[in-house]
């Protein structure tokens, strides 16, 4: 009796879609295929959105001609300049505020006030101050990315295990050696969280900053494409922005893996 | 502003330290000396007129219930708390082993041992210290991969690599399992007889104190309430004489231990009360 039931259950097993049930790549590919089909059938006009195949061709052409790499380099240099300034300022302020009560009283309120003002809202003021050259773009990126680095480093320094600091002090560490050997390494995980945020913010601000009369860079490329209704170039630039975000994340991950190899979660990998 | 008077002197580690029984000869200057020491947090006097003297190479255990001021006293001797204008004499080199190993997780084991050492050949010294505690094979391990006993042995190596004149042990075995604790007792005794630092072991384990120390102090309300010289030869088995001392110390701690029949009363130990009278 029970055997018969077991037989029936095993024979009544539903048809399975092998592997497809877990194929996460499928829906994006389907979307691309529909998009391509729509473009070929004329449902999606070229001036609204270029076909994926056209975008791929344009991507290739722009790369070969050197137009895309050259403009990308300009944009990357802006982001790097702004981020470098932010790193120096934020690490200095974060350490001063984190390591002393007086520093916190002096610096933290100003940083919190700055935080409540959206950085992008400062754009008009920076244009008035710095004109429409490179300066306002770099300053805008620097200002916007300072806060996430500062805040996380400050929290990291304050979150240090005081028992470790005490042990290090009992072994004669003090002053700068205590900061270098104990406090900075202890705050490093938080610092990396801040850095990751800052890299994301830098790409975001880059997009806006490059709308300010850019003579080169990804923003310049997009603006030109808009004027000539080249939706294929616009999509190519959007793709590059996405790749920039992914690349930034991969960069921080690599840095983290090297610098935080001591963390149990990473040791086990 | 008067500078706080903290006397530090270099501690001669090669001088032959008295073996147990280690009542220091009067000619030898004590490694640690506190006279009428007071430590106060607000209204609360944690240490209240405490007199303490530890001879070079002497192994002293400090017993006390929680809140009796044990840890405060240890922190004072470690130089972690300010002492104000009071007279505190300690050796210039001191090292602490905490209850939690307190290894820096971002430094490999040997770098933890070498923490704060600047001279050349630090790696070789750290390696030698780690070999001494039986961890020669874990030099380049991350602290997060160590077991509790290994972490504590690393902390011991980190303390001993400095050749301290005073070794401060703050309940270093409390978090270990019973078997590991016994092994650590042997290790500490071996290292102590090898290096001969003065040792102050803070513990709440009466058996541990009797098994290890030359002298056991009972701290109560910030004062030394009782003192017991342990003259039993090492290694110490928990025999009848051991039990007598144990019962007496438990009595000082306010715990009534059941009387066992095999006890031979008043043998092998000398109780000295802080007032100076000694009872045989």
pLDDT of residue A16: 63
Distance to chain A for B168, nearest Cα, Å = 11
Does the CB of A175 have a partner CB in chain B at under 8 Å? Answer: no
Residue of B nearest to A261 (CA): B106
Which chain A residue has its CA at the smallest distance from B159's CA?
Answer: A171
Cis omega before residue B235 (within 30°)? yes
Domain boundaries, chain A: 53-258
Residue B205 domain-assigned (yes or no): yes
Q: CA of A178: which chain B residue's CA is closest?
A: B116
Task: For chain A, say whether B276 makes contact (Cβ under 8 Å).
Answer: no
Q: Nearest by CB to A163, which of B102, B108, B143?
A: B102
Q: pLDDT truncated to tens, each residue of chain A (269 aa)?
A: 455 555 555 555 666 666 777 778 889 999 999 999 999 999 999 888 999 999 999 999 999 999 999 999 999 999 999 999 999 999 999 999 999 999 999 999 999 998 899 999 999 999 999 998 899 999 999 999 999 999 999 999 999 999 999 999 988 898 899 999 999 999 999 999 999 999 999 988 998 888 887 788 998 999 899 899 999 999 999 999 989 988 988 999 899 888 888 887 654 54
- When CB atoms are compared, the residue of A163, A168, A267 closest to B142 is A267
CB interface of A with B, residues 90-119, below 8 Å: none
Tokens representing A92 are 């200095």
> Per the structure block, which two tokens stand in for B213?
């120390």
- CB nearest to B142's CB, from A166, A168, A262: A262
Residue B185 domain-assigned (yes or no): yes
Structure tokens at A139: 């300053």
Contact yes or no for B104/B115 (Cβ under 8 A): yes
A266 touches chain B (CB under 8 A): no
* Cβ–Cβ gap B98/A167 under 8 Å: yes
| Confidence (pLDDT) at B277 | 44
Per the domain annotation, does B157 fall within a domain? no
* DSSP-assigned beta bridge partners for residue B203: B63
CA distances from A196 to A169, A207, A263, B32, B110 (A): 32, 18, 18, 52, 32
When CB atoms are compared, the residue of B98, B105, B116 closest to A172 is B116
The alpha carbon of residue B148 is apart from the nearest alpha carbon of chain A, in Å, by 15
Does residue B133 sit within a domain?
A: no
Q: Domain of residue B196: give its range.
A: 17-100+167-279
Strand order in B32-41's β-sheet? B6-9, B88-91, B32-41, B44-54
User: Which of A164, A262, A264 is nearest residue B102 as measured by Cβ atoms?
Assistant: A164
Chain B: residue nearest A262 by CA?
A: B106
Instruction: Tell me which of 3.40.50.150, 3.30.465.10, 1.10.3720.10, 1.10.287.1080 is the CATH number of domain A53-258.
Output: 1.10.3720.10
List CB contacts (< 8 A) between B96 and chain A.
167, 170
Chain A residues in contact with B115 by the CB 8 A cut-off are 168, 171, 173, 181
CB B252, CB B230: distance < 8 Å: no
CATH number at residue B235: 3.40.50.300
CB contact under 8 A, A262 and B116: no
Cα distance between residue A37 and residue B134, in whole Å: 71
Q: Report the residue from B107, B144, B162 with minimal CB separation from A264.
A: B144
> How far is the C-alpha of A222 from the C-alpha of A211, rounded, in Å?
9
Q: Does A172 touch chain B (CB under 8 A)?
A: yes
**Does residue B29 belong to any structural domain of this protein?**
yes
Give dist(CA A226, CA A228) in Å, integer. Answer: 5
Number of domains within chain B:
1
The answer, for B148 touching chain A at a CB cutoff of 8 Å, is no
- Tell me chain B's radius of gyration from C-alpha atoms: 19
> Does residue B214 lie within any of the structural domains?
yes
Nearest one of A239, A242, A237, A212 to A222, comparing CA atoms: A237
Q: Do A173 and B116 touch (CB under 8 A)?
A: yes
Regions of chain B with pLDDT less than 70: 1-27, 257-280
């Amino acid at each position: 009796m029970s055997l018969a039931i077991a037989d029936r259950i095993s024979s009544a097993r539903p048809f399975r879609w092998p592997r497809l049930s877990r194929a996460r790549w499928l829906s994006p590919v389907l979307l691309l295929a529909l998009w391509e089909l729509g473009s070929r059938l004329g449902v999606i006009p070229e001036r609204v959105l270029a076909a994926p195949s056209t975008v791929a061709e344009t991507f290739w052409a722009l790369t070969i001609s050197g137009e895309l790499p050259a403009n990308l380099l300009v944009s990357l240099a802006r982001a790097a300049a702004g981020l470098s300034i932010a790193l120096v300022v934020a690490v200095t302020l974060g350490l001063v505020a984190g390591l002393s009560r007086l520093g916190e009283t002096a610096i933290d309120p100003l940083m919190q006030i700055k935080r409540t003002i959206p950085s992008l809202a400062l754009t008009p003021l920076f244009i008035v101050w710095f004109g429409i050259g490179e300066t306002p773009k770099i300053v805008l990126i620097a200002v916007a990315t300072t806060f996430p680095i500062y805040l996380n480093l400050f929290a990291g320094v304050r979150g240090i295990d005081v028992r470790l600091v005490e042990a290090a002090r009992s072994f004669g560490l003090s002053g700068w050696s205590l900061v270098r050997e104990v406090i900075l390494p202890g705050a490093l995980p938080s610092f990396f969280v801040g850095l990751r945020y800052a890299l994301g913010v830098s790409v975001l601000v880059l997009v806006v900053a490059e709308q300010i009369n850019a003579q080169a860079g990804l923003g310049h490329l997009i603006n030109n494409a808009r004027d000539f209704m080249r939706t294929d170039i616009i999509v190519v630039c959007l793709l590059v922005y996405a790749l920039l975000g992914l690349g930034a994340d991969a960069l921080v991950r690599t840095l983290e893996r090297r610098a935080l190899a001591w963390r149990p979660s990473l040791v086990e990998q | 502003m008067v500078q706080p008077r903290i006397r530090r002197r270099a501690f001669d580690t090669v001088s032959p330290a008295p073996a147990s029984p280690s009542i220091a000869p009067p000619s030898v200057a004590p490694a640690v000396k506190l006279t009428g020491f007071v430590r106060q947090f607000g209204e609360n006097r944690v240490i209240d007129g405490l007199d303490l003297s530890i001879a070079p190479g002497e192994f002293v255990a400090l017993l006390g219930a929680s809140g009796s001021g044990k840890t405060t006293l240890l922190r004072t001797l470690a130089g972690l708390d300010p002492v104000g204008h009071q007279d505190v004499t300690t050796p210039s080199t001191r090292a602490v082993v905490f209850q939690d190993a307190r290894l820096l997780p971002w430094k490999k084991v040997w770098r933890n041992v070498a923490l704060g050492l600047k001279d050349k050949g630090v790696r070789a010294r750290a390696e030698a210290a780690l070999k001494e505690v039986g961890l020669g094979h874990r030099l380049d391990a991350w602290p997060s991969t160590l077991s509790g006993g290994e972490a504590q042995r690393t902390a011991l190596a980190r303390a001993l690599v400095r050749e301290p004149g005073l070794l401060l042990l703050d309940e270093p075995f409390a978090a270990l399992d019973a078997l590991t604790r016994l092994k650590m007792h042997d290790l500490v005794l071996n290292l102590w007889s090898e290096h001969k630092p003065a040792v102050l072991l803070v513990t709440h384990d009466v058996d541990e104190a009797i098994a290890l120390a030359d002298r056991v102090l009972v701290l109560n309300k910030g004062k030394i309430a009782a003192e017991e010289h342990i003259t039993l030869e090492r290694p110490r088995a928990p025999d009848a004489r051991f039990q007598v001392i144990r019962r007496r110390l438990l009595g000082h701690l306010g715990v009534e231990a059941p009387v066992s029949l095999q006890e031979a009363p008043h043998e092998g130990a000398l109780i000295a009360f802080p007032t100076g009278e000694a009872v045989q």
